[in-house]
Structure 1
């Protein structure tokens, strides 16, 4: 099975849009390509996730791709996930159960946050999402509790801080070529988290081309 490496942060709205578009194009093309998720942990670069910045990006990207499923955070502020390292670790740990299982957990966690306002920082929420996705939550809990995937996640960070990865999202193909945040241009009106992003589609065919190249 061919794979596209996906380097991203779970709370990155640009990654949410790009992954949605890849999954839709994959279904339309009927190609056998799995998305192999790797962690680009924005919080290890910038500190805790800022809700104002995430909210404003969600508004901008939601207008660009409504089908991806965006909602503003609707739960109490204290429940907002300022960190998603444990959730990212769970996506790595799920690879023990299979590449497709890991991909589906990543997708379900993004949906849980962006569409359902669930605090995916919390261990029990992560395990609940795993159960709903059909993943063995008992095995996943054991992996989280002994930390076996933590070093793998941090090895990703060691790559993320180099020039090899530009940011979230970045897609790396089997031939070694890669592309960062394809198909979208964006500029900020005002400062980050106080202003708002103005985004535009620039290349509607990128996902289909990427999948064909990978397969």
Structure 2
């Protein structure tokens, strides 16, 4: 991984609860440390649906319930809209996050964060073009009109698939996996869990947590 100075490269899936926890805590710690204008997040796609098929709501729900107890400050909410509106794919949303990089990493990470909030807090169908653009219009750093053009001509699709070509190798272990400029990395930082029962019908139980990892990572990236 070639990670630029003052940057943390984040590989994740938009519907991954573990990624939502990591990114939320990373951004909160960055603000606390006064590093919002120093360290940027460079988002890359670890598309779970390209490994497992359409996103499974039972699997996502069970993980969110377990992690909601571990990280209540994040405010996980279960899906509240009709089942048929649940996003079985978020590849177009991943394209949008890549396309937003045309305005810089800030726009890309702000859109990524807004899409996660829209899904986890508001039960919005972030796989749909209209919803993606509605969310984009709510983000000051994103040019929603330019993003619409980028989605319609598919210019960021190759970036998503190029990420997948890396994701299927041993370079990336899963969602989330974070990489630093010094070459170090960590998969699913700060949380160790085991499953009680089978995936999607059981739930994750935390075995260990490390709330201090975001500050360590940010200070390393800033140095």
Q: Distance in 1 between matches of 2:31 and 2:120?
A: 22
- Show CA shifts across 1:77-128 (max 9, x none): 0000000000000000000012101000000000000010000010000000
Q: Distance in 2 between matches of 1:130 and 1:39?
A: 18
Q: Do residues 178 (structure 1) and 181 (structure 2) align?
A: no
Q: Do residues 147 (structure 1) and 143 (structure 2) align?
A: no
Q: Distance in 2 between matches of 1:83 and 1:201?
A: 31
Q: Distance in 1 between matches of 2:23 and 2:12?
A: 10
Q: How many residues align?
A: 215
Q: Distance in 2 between matches of 1:129 and 1:81?
A: 15
The correspondence for 1:103, drawn from 104, 109, 115, is: 109
| TM-score (norm. length: structure 2) | 0.94
Q: Do residues 7 (structure 1) and 14 (structure 2) align?
A: no
Q: Distance in 2 between matches of 1:48 and 1:144?
A: 21
- Show CA shifts across 1:1-30 (max 9, x none): 611000000000000001111111111111
- 2:194–2:207 contact (8 Å) kept in structure 1: no
Q: Do residues 163 (structure 1) and 167 (structure 2) align?
A: no
User: CA RMSD, aligned part only?
Assistant: 0.9
- Show CA shifts across 1:141-163 (max 9, x none): 00000011110111000011111
- Show CA shifts across 1:143-199 (max 9, x none): 000011110111000011111100000001011211100110111111001111112
Unaligned runs of 5+ in 1: none
Partner of 1:202: 209
Unaligned runs of 5+ in 2: none
1:133 partner SS? coil
1:115-134 maps to which residues of 2 (within 5 A)? 115-134=121-140
The correspondence for 1:34, drawn from 15, 27, 40, is: 40
Deviates more, 1:111-120 or 1:67-76: 67-76
Q: Distance in 1 between matches of 2:209 and 2:57?
A: 27
| TM-score (norm. length: structure 1) | 0.98
The correspondence for 2:20, drawn from 11, 16, 19, is: 16
- 2:92–2:127 contact (8 Å) kept in structure 1: yes
